[in-house]
Amino acid sequence: MRILFLGDIVGRVGRDSVVAALPGLRTALRVDCAIVNGENASHGFGLAPDMARALFDAGADVITLGNHAWDRKELIPYIAETPRLIRPLNFPPGTPGAGITTVTLADGRRVAVMNVMGRLFMDALDCPFRLSAQELAKYKLGSSVAAIVVDFHAEATSEKWAYAHSFDGQVSLVVGTHTHSPSADHHVLAGGTAFQSDAGMCGDYDSVIGMAKQNSAARFWRKMPGDKLAPADGEATICGVLVETDDATGLASSVWPLRQGGRLSQAMPPS
């Protein structure tokens, strides 16, 4: 199975680039399942229902979120009725939506996708390790589901590595989101789980992690209120990761970074 994961979509240029490119990427890379993180899609903060629908229409099988999940309040009723849109598993009990979903592909294979949020330099949430262990105990990789993908939305690289090693051999892919900077550490861990500590963003890299440079930089120069941050609007780079899994075990056999368009060096997985 080939699974494509695209990192945090930032603003209109990120949305438009993913919507335009995803159908072609699915065909060119023989993608069986496509997952995107959409938590910054709306002006850099949150996701609106119409934006989620556009991403689904373009070929996203699952959309994940993060710490900006509720920045667009109209998403709250939409997520409650849209199981393919998930928020972090370790949000408080009673939070709308779910932290894990299972999608059935056209050929009948099932893929579980889980969204978890880290705690280092982030919100004080429940333990992502303990809750993940409880949830993953409900699935058998290569049997009840053909693949399991975890979007670990976190700031600290150390926490992402620790999480990946903790569940090595239990999931197909652990991929980090949130920092918007693609890491160069993609590989298959000893137990067969593919890992990349951050997928990067889908947005304009002539920016400060997707936001226009001038106002973003000004916040570091002075501790005073400034103009509202807005996404940069230049050409976007689509960043993500492609993993190929073994059909018998659900574990990863290969993993490649993807960077297409914009200012970053290009990287395209083999077809």
- pLDDT band, very low/low/confident/very high, at 43 (cuts 50, 70, 90): very high
- pLDDT band, very low/low/confident/very high, at 204 (cuts 50, 70, 90): very high
- pLDDT band, very low/low/confident/very high, at 74 (cuts 50, 70, 90): very high
d(CA 55, CA 121): 30
pLDDT at site 142:
94
Query: Are 153 and 179 contacting, i.e. CB atoms less than 8 angstroms apart?
Result: no
Catalytic residue numbers read: 68
pLDDT > 70 in the chain, percent = 100
- pLDDT band, very low/low/confident/very high, at 222 (cuts 50, 70, 90): confident
pLDDT at site 57:
98
The stretch 231-238 carries a mean pLDDT of: 96
d(CA 161, CA 233): 32
Above 80 in pLDDT, residue 255?
yes
- What domains appear along the chain, each with residue ranges and CATH number? 2-260 (3.60.21.10)
pLDDT at site 219:
87
Length of the chain: 271
| Structure confidence by residue, pLDDT tens digits, 145-170 | 999 999 999 999 999 999 999 999 99
- pLDDT band, very low/low/confident/very high, at 224 (cuts 50, 70, 90): confident
- Which of 57, 11, 9 lies closest to 36, judged by CA? 9
